[in-house]
Chains A and B, each alone.
Chain A
Amino acid sequence: MATGSLIPSDIPHTRTAAQALMDKLANANPISAADMQAVADATEALNGVLTQLNQEDMLSRVGAMQAAAAEVKGPLQTLSTLKDQLTDISTRIGALAGIANDVDQVVSGCTTIFGL
């Protein structure tokens, strides 16, 4: 459930939210194996989301939206699944504060953009 910031509904804002989440994950520096695995899986999934957002952004600029829903569905599911675990990690790692809202923004934005 999103709290605080508005949920983005277009590609540029969703992309900005996804990149901000990526930066947050890259700076998290978890220590335990389980936390590290969750952050690594989220990082990989988010990279997949960013790739699809970039692709969609490019196509929209030439008037050819293709809604690559199939390619983005898996990474979004991974992110949603990891949300609770990442929220738990954020209680120990300050750099991840507000991560549930960040994940919601990306997932909701992509759901609108890709028509999921």
Chain B
Amino acid sequence: MTLNPSEALMYARSGPMLCLLLLLSGCSISPLTQRATAFSTAATATTLKVQNAFQLIEQSYTDAQTASLVNNFDTKGFNPSQIQPFMLSEAMQARTQMIAGLQQYATLLAEVSGNQPVTALDTQSEALGKSLQALSTSSGLSTVAKSANTDIGPASTAVDALGRMLIEHKTAKELPGILTAMQKPVDTICQLLEDDIGTPEGSGLRNQLMNDYFVLIAAQKIYIRNNEAKMTPDEKRAAIEQLPQLVITEKQDDATLAQTQAALKSLAATNDALTATKNSKKAPAFQALLAELVAEGQQIGSVYKATTSK
């Protein structure tokens, strides 16, 4: 089973609903379950924005590529193979599933922190768990692992472990055990996604983004130079205005990817802190990291607003 973005959204939206159910239940809540519920809310919101960020970058790249193809139609014609997604579809699907898995893990924490079983979420969790188990041996995951310059082995083990956890039906008393079992897989998956994003100068999606935009900018310059004699002043102005716009789009998309990396790092660190404080009544370090996670998630939103308002 694979997840499309709308299914991923559905999983993400069930997290806050569950938190509300927990609040309405009025049960006495231990410090750990309170923290797990708070983490669940923040992690769900953050992973949703991470998912949106990937989709937004793909869309802005498609827009820029389309504009370039239109401009160069007279000299290069049109071949459908020229339309290439920024992220290969099988790798994009693998990213989507891993992020949905992290969302569902957050939901699972909220679920087991409650006193009553939530059957609908069990069904969702099981379906997603099975899809993650299938992903652990797929070529999509190995493509992401390769992009991240990392070994497929630990990535595959982590994705499979997360899948298995989502399939099993856990109860509240098992919360500490879940946190311990999932610490390494969550760390590995977040690290894999961070490395896959990479750096502009080095490798990964940020490097690919920068190089692809170099090509689009060079093509736009050629279009202007080859056609300026036939352009009106207004047409020439509009064509030239596309150049800084391409630079801005690349920078904004890169910033979105960088912010996504920071949010994933924060998500893993907060999950680690939650696990470390499973026997503690008070957890100031966790609270600080939780606040950071909320802020990182909000930041992705702000970069993304700037990008969409261009």
Q: Which residues in A have some Cβ–Cβ distance to B below 8 Å?
A: 19, 22, 25-26, 33, 36-37, 39-40, 43-44, 47, 50-51, 54-55, 57-59, 61-62
Q: Which residues in B have some Cβ–Cβ distance to A below 8 Å?
A: 142-143, 145-147, 149-152, 201, 203, 207-208, 211-212, 214-215, 217-219, 221-222, 225-226
- Contact B218–A43 (Cβ < 8 Å): yes
- Contact B151–A61 (Cβ < 8 Å): yes
- Contact A44–B152 (Cβ < 8 Å): no
Query: Can you name 16 A-B pairs with beta carbons within 8 Å?
Result: A22-B214, A26-B217, A26-B218, A33-B222, A37-B222, A39-B218, A40-B215, A40-B219, A43-B215, A44-B215, A44-B219, A51-B208, A58-B147, A61-B149, A62-B146, A62-B151
Q: Which residues of B contact A36 (CB under 8 A)?
A: 218, 221-222, 225
Contacts A19-B201, A36-B222, A62-B146 known; A47 to B215 CB distance under 8 Å? yes
Closest to A33 in B: B225
Minimum CB–CB distance from A57 to chain B (whole Å) comes to: 7
- Contact B152–A62 (Cβ < 8 Å): yes
Minimum CB–CB distance from A14 to chain B (whole Å) comes to: 13
Contacts A33-B225, A62-B142, A62-B146 known; A54 to B203 CB distance under 8 Å? yes
Q: Which residues of A contact B151 (CB under 8 A)?
A: 61-62
CA separation between A26 and B151, bound complex, in Å? 32
Minimum CB–CB distance from A43 to chain B (whole Å) comes to: 5
Closest to B211 in A: A47
Q: Which residues of A contact B219 (CB under 8 A)?
A: 40, 44
- Contact A26–B214 (Cβ < 8 Å): yes
Closest to B142 in A: A62
Minimum CB–CB distance from B87 to chain A (whole Å) comes to: 13
Q: In the complex, which of the residues B146, B201, B211, B222 contacts A61, with contact meaning CB atoms closer than 8 Å?
A: B146
Minimum CB–CB distance from B109 to chain A (whole Å) comes to: 33
Q: Which residues of B contact A43 (CB under 8 A)?
A: 214-215, 218
- Contact A57–B211 (Cβ < 8 Å): no
Closest 8 CB pairs of A and B: A58-B146, A40-B218, A33-B225, A26-B214, A43-B218, A40-B222, A47-B215, A47-B211
Q: In the complex, which of the residues B149, B152, B215, B218 contacts A57, with contact meaning CB atoms closer than 8 Å?
A: B149
Q: Which residues of B contact A39 (CB under 8 A)?
A: 218
Minimum CB–CB distance from A3 to chain B (whole Å) comes to: 25
CA separation between A36 and B142, bound complex, in Å? 38
CA separation between A12 and B235, bound complex, in Å? 44
